[in-house]
Amino acid sequence: DATAELSRLRLWPDRSIPEQCVNFVGGACQGDFGTSIRSQRPVIQEIGERFGPTLWLTLTSMVWSVIFGLVIGVISAVYRNKWPDRIGMTLAVSGISFPAFALGILLMEIFSVELGWLPTVGASSWKHYILPSITHGAGEAVVLARLTRVAFVDLRLDEYFRTARAKGVTETKIVA
């Protein structure tokens, strides 16, 4: 088979592993990552086609994690040792313990299969990014929530918070 022979020659199986690595790294430094075995197209083209959706997924995941993490962390700090704090920190601990793939499956089951609100595959509209970005950002959100809570509890004990309270500034304005 000519295709198999051509692939064999491109992969240099007759050369040593260090020599194969040097050849690959030398080509990669010049922008040549080789040819995809599956699609027979340059790998750099395959990466380029997927870069945009991957970037959008990363950015939306970061947005979700910052929004949820900061909100849960600040609310937990403001209501320290009360029911909002307990719920927020329970969510945070559960979120760390819950595997991302299981969260993704659960979200797909609820919002795609049962409710039919969101698509499960594709990248052609903003709706395609909601479930994967929430799934991906959830792990970072729970860590951020815990860090925010600790930092904000320390911050609320500082002198300028006490001074603002002494001057009659409401707790809502201080937190905002």
Spans of the chain, pLDDT less than 70: 1-13, 176
pTM to 2 decimal places? 0.67
Q: Do 118 and 111 form a contact (C-beta atoms < 8 A)?
A: yes
pLDDT of 63 reads 92
Angle at which helices 83-97 and 43-78 pack, to 10 degrees?
150
pLDDT of 62 reads 93
pLDDT of 7 reads 59
Q: Which residues contact 9 (CB under 8 A, 6 or more apart)?
A: none
Cβ-count burial 148-162 (b if 16+ within 10 Å, e if not): bbeebbeebeeeeee
- What is the Cα–Cα distance from 126 to 123, expressed in whole angstroms? 8
pLDDT tens-digit readout, 62-103: 999 999 999 998 888 888 888 988 888 888 888 788 888 888
pLDDT of 59 reads 92
Q: Do 138 and 106 form a contact (C-beta atoms < 8 A)?
A: no
Q: Which residues contact 67 (CB under 8 A, 6 or more apart)?
A: 141
Say if residue 34 is exposed, middle or buried (CB neighbours under 10 Å; 0-12, 13-18, 19+): middle
